[in-house]
Chain A
Amino acid sequence: MKMGKRILTTVLGSILVVSLAGCGTSQQAQTPVPPTATEQSTQVSKANPMIVDKVAKTVKIYTEVNAKYFVEPTRHGIVFKDGSNGEKSILKAWTNQNDFYNGLIDIGAKPGNNLTLETVAAVAGDPLDVTITWNGAGKQIPLYDAIIDSQNKKADFRFGGNQDRAKTIKTGCILCLDSCPVGITSNATYPQKSFDNKQVEFRGNKAVLPADGTPVVVTFKLK
């Protein structure tokens, strides 16, 4: 009996070590190549987390993958890392929601500002193309290709605005996956509270996204 217990604990311990240690390579974050001084002004990075291009009408931001939401559902697509929801999104941003709002204003985007905390409606505002890329991706990929939407609908990202609430509530929300009265941008395909009412679920698509911690550049382009 005693020997049985010892064997059981040894076997369980071994299973845990082998199974957990086995994730070394697959989940290892890719180390970004440090940019040169000239590249720093044109490339987003941790040190330079947002670039606004008024001519191309784009805002590019630096983010990193949070693999937790490959497994768990979330309504948060991109959130500023130091916001109260900083650990609750698929992509963790290094620029804050207020600077990002100003960036969209700078490229001429107009906010919808049509939602309150009580309304159940779709977000309004100028439509945006949202794409992602990373070292080794070799191309721009639509953000929504990297999201598993339980209803398989297409995204309609809008500049919702919500600057006052974003400043007050400080969630850090930059892009929400259903219509949101706090997020700077959100998805008009799903009315507010769709996620809360369990009408839809979102997860990161690990078949598309790179490993946890990998830097990803998100480009918002005014349509």
Chain B
Amino acid sequence: MYVRYLKLFNILSGALSGFNLGFCLALLMTQWTWLELRFNAGLFILLGLFLGFVTGFMISFKHSRVWGGLSVAALVLTGLVLGQGIENMQILLGSVFREGLLIPSLSLTAANYITAGIALLTVLVSWVSRRLQCLQRNKI
């Protein structure tokens, strides 16, 4: 019974962790000014999402909670360090998010709420994914 959900949550967990890690990479790439002014560095978010999705499809994560937590932690810390504070972090995360997802008319506030929602969802999905793994193992 759990197998179907286990696979679904494994893919979701991979995709969300990939999204967060891709977001980190996008933030780091914006620091390379030459690239930032010639290329949409925010596209690394979509790349991360895609790679995370594919990985989740192909591999069963043994430590989905760790990956999920680490990806969120990495995103928060990267934003804080690069923005050198919360106010600039909000601007940086919001602007890279809307540029990367090709929604230039999105307000920074909306972009930041969505980012925060995805971060929380990552933690939740990773936790559920891990629980399902444990239940499946106990059943066997």
Contacts and interface: CB of A to CB of B under 8 A. Distances in A.
Given A12-B69, A13-B72, A72-B36, A23 B90 contact: yes
A176 B136 CA distance: 60
Interface string B38-50: 0010000000000
Interface stretch (A3-11, A36-44, A114-122): A3-11
A115 to B, nearest CB: 18
A20 B120 contact: no
B60 interface: no
Given A21-B113, A27-B109, A75-B37, A13 B119 contact: yes
A211 B104 CA distance: 15
Interface in A203-219: 212-213
Interface stretch (A63-71, A126-134, A152-160): A63-71
A108 to B, nearest CB: 33
Contact of B119 (A5, A16, A72, A81): A16
B97 to A, nearest CB: 10
A172 interface: no
B94 interface: yes
Interface string A70-112: 1111111000010001111000100000000000000000000
Nearest to A26: B87
A20 B115 contact: yes
Contact of A70 (B68, B69, B91): B91
User: Which one of B91, B92, B104 has the highest number of Cβ atoms from chain A below 10 Å of its Cβ?
Assistant: B91
Interface residues of A, number: 39
A17 interface: yes
A212 B70 CA distance: 30
Interface in B30-88: 30, 33-34, 36-37, 40, 65-66, 68-69, 72-73, 75-76, 83, 86-88
A22 B86 CA distance: 9
A73 B107 contact: no
A72 B90 contact: no
Given A74-B37, A76-B37, A20 B112 contact: yes
B95 to A, nearest CB: 4
Contact of A68 (B89, B92, B107, B127): B92
A85 B96 CA distance: 15
B119 A17 contact: yes
A87 B104 contact: yes
Contacts of A10: 123
Interface of B: 30, 33-34, 36-37, 40, 65-66, 68-69, 72-73, 75-76, 83, 86-96, 99, 104, 107-109, 112-113, 115-116, 119-120, 123, 126-127
Q: Which 5 A-B pairs have the closest CB atoms?
A: A68-B95, A20-B112, A9-B69, A23-B90, A20-B116
